[in-house]
Structure formats: structure tokens, C-alpha cells
Amino acid sequence: MKKIGLIGTGMLGKAVGMHLLKSGYSLVAYNRTKDKTKELEINGAEIADSPKDVALKSDVVITVVKDAEAVKKISFEKDGIIFGNHEGLVVCDMSTINPIESKKIFEKFRENNLIMLDTPVMGGPNVAITGDLVMMASGNKGTFDDCKKLFETIANKVFYLGENGTAHTVKLAMNLQITMLALALSEGITLSRGANIDPKVFLEILNSTYFKTGMSENKAFKMIQDQFDATFTLDNLKKDINTISETSKSFGVNLPMTEKAKEIYDNAVNEGFGNLDYTGILAYIKKLNE
Ligand SMILES: NC(=O)c1ccc[n+]([C@@H]2O[C@H](COP(=O)([O-])OP(=O)(O)OC[C@H]3O[C@@H](n4cnc5c(N)ncnc54)[C@H](OP(=O)(O)O)[C@@H]3O)[C@@H](O)[C@H]2O)c1
């Protein structure tokens, strides 16, 4: 079995790491804020002092950090991954980032004789913990094949999508769905409440139709109870909407709903809702209606 390095033990990274340990992989982990590696350490992970140290001790390094800037920092800056390069090392970036930035990162790794695959995922910590994410992968096919067993441990569905950058573009199209679904549910709930209709009735009817989703069948029932404990923060979704907007512009594509959603989520973060779960956009819309 390959020795796995994990850089970024936030909500998603920690759950992926816990599942890898449970699946018998040996894991070396690093996080900028050290406290967040405690649970992994208790469960058998080795904790490294730097991304360089992780790279030196691993065959495959998985990076799960906030954005492209963070990926660059852990990869190329002082004590970054490239300084721990060795024969056969592969980097798999699971962060959700701009595909154009990702291609630049891939090129910089290539200049340093390192192979990087894009491996963004759908699904949060609650499914990562059982290896039930959905993975979109792009980059060198031979390297992908070589890592496939690892990927199939992390995810129950793995899609290979071709050249570097592609997986991130598809991932952004996925997060566009999350953005609009959370907004549509929030406005449906708010409209029902405005007419003194129990939002549970709205959800039960929605869930009896073709238009139901995992979100309307699960998270929505927490939303109507004002339960917004984060599995994926509103702040991180806002980061992704900004990325979708930037990416669409660089592809010359006009996404009018994305631009409107960007404004709404930006305002929600500015009003202090960023640390809630992304479904906390309902709480922001509730505030607008007070
Ligand atoms: N949660 C989900 O459901 C989910 C699903 C799919 C994809 N994702 C993506 O996965 C990535 C991580 O998400 P998450 O939910 O785990 O977020 P999170 O809990 O906010 O964790 C963010 C991670 O990034 C690190 N980080 C941020 N800025 C950094 C920097 N400048 N240098 C080094 N490390 C930095 C953080 O380190 P500190 O602890 O030191 O702040 C932390 O480890 C994001 O790109 C997100 O969009 C998340």
C-alpha cells in the first residue's frame, strides 16, 4: 500500500484522513493550525512539521486546503512540497480551485519534476468518513491508473476526465448546483413561511415530486429548524462562487444567475453569516425579511 501524505486537515481533509487510516493506509499529516491534526494523531497518523516533511515521507500527497493561494503556499513557498520531492512522488489536489490557476500549479510542479493530478470531490465530511465521496480526476492517465485503488478507497465513484484543469471545471459546475439549490430551497421556505404555511409541508410536497434532491430530502429539514452547523461553510461556498464567476469570464461565458448569487452570498458573508453551513443562506434571507 502507498504511504499517503495529507496536507490540510480542515473539515474535509480530516474526514478523508480518518477514513484512510481506517482502511489500513499509513498516513502522515500536516495542517497550518496544528490542533486540527490531534484526532488523526490519536488514530495513528504521523504528524509532520511542514509540507516538505509530508512529501519526504509519502508516495502520494493529497492537498485539501482552502483555495489556489493556499495550494501555492504549501506547494512552492518555504518548506513547501517541492522541497520534499523524490522519485515517484505524486501530488493530488482535492481543494476546489480555479481550473486556470490549477493548470499553472500543475506546470510549476512539472518544472520541478513532480506530477500533479486534479482530484476535487463532491460530498462533505459526513460521506468522506465512509469513503463515499464522488471524485472527478484529471491529469496524466498512467499516474491516475496507478493511484486508482487509493481513489476508490476515498470515493465510491471516480470519474477520469482527461487533461489537467478539466476536473476543476466540472467541480465548479457541481458547486453551481449547490449554490442554486440552497438558494431555491431558502426562498421556497421563506415564501411558505410568509403565507403562514408550515415549511415542512412545502418540503414534503417537494420531496414527492421529480424536483426533489438530496438537499431537500436531508439538509432542508435542519434548515427549517435553524440548524446550520457547518459541514461546508458559507464562506467557502462564496469562495467557489467567486471562482465560478472568474472562470466563466475567462471562458467568455455569461452566467447571469451566478452573478446574482455572488452578490447575495457576498452580502451574507459581509453580514457575518460566513461561518455557518452554506445552507445558512436561509438565515440571511430570513434577516432580510425581518
Ligand atoms: N467541506 C466540504 O463539504 C467540501 C467538499 C468538497 C470540497 N471541499 C473543498 O475542500 C477544501 C477544504 O474545505 P474544508 O471544508 O475542509 O474547509 P476548512 O474546514 O475551512 O479547511 C480549510 C483548510 O485549508 C487550510 N488553509 C487555508 N488557508 C491556508 C493557507 N494560506 N495556507 C495553508 N493552509 C491553509 C486550513 O488550515 P487552518 O486550519 O490552519 O486554517 C484548513 O486545513 C476547500 O477547497 C473546499 O472548497 C470541501
Domain end: 115, 133, 163, which one? Answer: 163
128 lines ligand 1 (CB under 6 A): no
In this model, does residue 51 exceed pLDDT 90? yes
Domain end: 144, 163, 182, which one? Answer: 163
Contacts of 196 (CB under 8 A, 6+ apart): none
- How many structural domains are present in the chain? 2
Pair (134, 26) in one structural domain: yes
Out of 6, 35, 49, 66, mutate this one to test ligand 1's pocket (max ligand atoms within 8 Å of CB): namely 66
Cα 5 from Cα 28, distance rounded (Å) = 5
- State the pLDDT at residue 2: 86
- State the pLDDT at residue 54: 98
124 lines ligand 1 (CB under 6 A): yes
Nearest CA residue ID for atom 23, ligand 1: 65
Pair (225, 123) in one structural domain: no
What is the per-residue pLDDT across 184-217, written as a single tens digit (0 to 9) for each? 999 999 999 999 999 999 999 999 999 999 999 9
Pair (18, 120) in one structural domain: yes
**Position 50 confidence tier, pLDDT thresholds 50, 70, 90:** very high
Pair (86, 140) in one structural domain: yes
Domain end: 117, 147, 163, which one? Answer: 163
| Ligand 1 centre distance from Cα of residue 288 (Å) | 29
Mean pLDDT, residues 127-153: 98
Pair (146, 274) in one structural domain: no
Q: CB 67: neighbour CB atoms within 10 A?
A: 18
Print the domain residue range for 119.
3-163
Pair (117, 197) in one structural domain: no
DSSP 64-114: --SSHHHHHHHHHSTT-GGGG--TT-EEEE-S---HHHHHHHHHHHHHTT-
Out of 98, 231, 236, 243, mutate this one to test ligand 1's pocket (max ligand atoms within 8 Å of CB): namely 236
Cβ contact 287:271 at 8 Å: yes
Query: For 29, phi and psi rounded to 5 degrees?
Result: -125, 150
In this model, does residue 1 exceed pLDDT 80? no
Q: CB 165: neighbour CB atoms within 10 A?
A: 21
95 lines ligand 1 (CB under 6 A): yes
Q: If we measure between CA atoms, which residue out of 69, 122, 71 comes closest to residue 92? A: 71
Mean pLDDT of the chain: 98
